[in-house]
Amino acid sequence: MQLKCNLLPQDDGRCGWYETLPAPPPVRGPLKGNVTADWVVLGAGLAGLAAARRLAELQPEASIALVDAKRVGFGAAGRNSGFMIDLPHDLNSHDYTGDVEADRNQIRLNRAAIDYIRGIVKRHSIDCDWQEQGKLHGAAEERGQQSLETFAKGLAALGESYSLLDAAQMKAITGTDFFRTGLHAPGTVLVQPAALVRGLGATLPENVQLFEESPVRSIAVGKPHVLTTDSGQIRSPRLILANNAYASQFSQFGFKGRLLPIYTYGSLTRPLNEKEKVSLGGQEKWGLIPADPMGTTVRRMGSGRICIRNSFTYNPAINASTGQLDRVRASHLRSFRRRFPMLENVDFEYTWGGALCITRNGGAPFGEIAPGVYSAVCQNGLGLTRGTNSGKMIAEYAVGDQNELLDIMLKQPKPACNPPEPLLGIGLRSTLAWKEWRAGSEL
């Protein structure tokens, strides 16, 4: 079987998280010539980094090749808003929660991922602004308020702790009187995502060989599997797919039309000056998730920068056009101005997009999908925790481990199928537009 990787990662705007880090270390790789390895992992995002690390932990004698088209931290894993979320976070639901048993399992998985990453961050002193401060949810209007109430009921039914906040309490934290009500849930960890991912890449065990800036153009699935780049090949009997949204082009595994590459976008301001910090008030660091999943995520960083994330678009070619980035930047600016009228002279320094991989039913193709080919793709928008778990646990599964969390991963539903194009595109784009319109001022 021959898999073509015609859709390769693009630049998708300048990511503020990546660009504000110190200059990266020299490139590892690119791949040149022929390499053989016991395992090859495609994609060095959260899933790929976790898979390679876990394989190395479980099989210290094995050789593991980890290959990425870009620098570690450049892709979606370093482009996200940095919420390592412990609670259910179903983007298809109006209040993030769903079936109680599924939610309980999701919480167990998410917390295991946080524990795993926390251990690595501590062991290697990874400087990624790790903040165990939980997440805020903020509602700006009646509908949002109702979603928060439903979310709170859902958390109560799960036995999870949270506190409800009134407008004054929200203002004391965020500095703005934009939010009528809020909710604080304590278990989420906030990070600088590009710093975390770069740190994970820099501290991989010695038996992992990382090849950056090595776009894989094709994969011959066989014995062994052969991954071909512009200047080399990797041969290995076992392949782990951790290329997330880019796997949606693999029709051979039934992924096309089931794995949906949905883009979302971030913008980061310049640092606020002292006068602006005083006029804003509030706390120095916080992260806020919108009451409506289609609304605007906001983070204030210790550096004095503010990050805005909103807008979802269906991009089957897995790149964001300049026009799209311009439109999104304008939308980010509107959302920013509504929330922070006192910061009228503050503008964005960076705007970027990144690909999520979503399925209609929240399922994922986790497991062995062809002899010696394992899938850790499709995190349904929850990459920091779910991506970590997919990678870590696919490694455990592939070496024959058994454990309770792995059973949960294996029992999750497979991706639902969708109508063919052009119906799929028409349906998705109109659903996204309608949901965004319905989010009202939560956007």
Ligand X SMILES: Cc1cc2nc3c(=O)[nH]c(=O)nc-3n(C[C@H](O)[C@H](O)[C@H](O)COP(=O)(O)OP(=O)(O)OC[C@H]3O[C@@H](n4cnc5c(N)ncnc54)[C@H](O)[C@@H]3O)c2cc1C
Q: Which residues of the chain form contacts with ligand X (CB under 6 A)?
A: 5, 8-9, 42-48, 67-70, 75-77, 79-83, 85, 215-216, 242-246, 264-266, 309, 354-356, 379, 381-385, 387
Nearer to ligand X, 80 or 207 (CB): 80
Nearest approach, Cβ of residue 324 and ligand X (Å): 13
Sole residue written with tokens 């002279």: 345
CB of 283 to ligand X, least distance (A): 19
Distance CA 50, CA 426 (A): 36
Structure tokens at 395: 């490694």
Residue with tokens 């600088």: 192
The dihedral through the CA atoms of 238, 213, 50, 208 has a sign that is: positive
**Which of these, 387, 378, 384, lies nearest to 359 by C-alpha position?**
378
Which residues are CB-contacts of 119 (< 8 A; sequence separation ≥ 6)?
Answer: none
Of 64 and 67, nearer to ligand X (C-beta) is: 67
Please list, residue by residue across 154-170, b when 16 or more beta carbons sit within 10 angstroms of its beta carbon and e when fewer do: bbeeeebebeebeeebb
Minimum distance from CB of 261 to ligand X (Å)? 10
- What type of residue is 156? A
CB nearer to ligand X: pick between 162 and 250: 250
Contacts of 365 (CB under 8 A, 6+ apart): 253, 254, 255, 258, 259, 375, 377, 378, 414, 415
Minimum CB distance to ligand X smaller for 42 or for 226: 42
Shortest Å distance, C-beta 297 to ligand X = 7
Of 261 and 276, nearer to ligand X (C-beta) is 261
The string of DSSP codes covering 367-416 is: EEEETTEEE----TT-IIIIIHHHHHHHHHHHTT---HHHHHHHHSPPPP
- Amino acid at site 440: G
Q: Which is nearer to ligand X, 67 or 170 (CB)?
A: 67
Please state the closest distance from residue 354 (CB atom) to ligand X, in A. 3
Q: State in angstroms the smallest separation of the CB of 168 from ligand X.
A: 27
207 vs 389 by CB, closer to ligand X: 389
Least distance between ligand X and beta carbon 83 (Å): 3
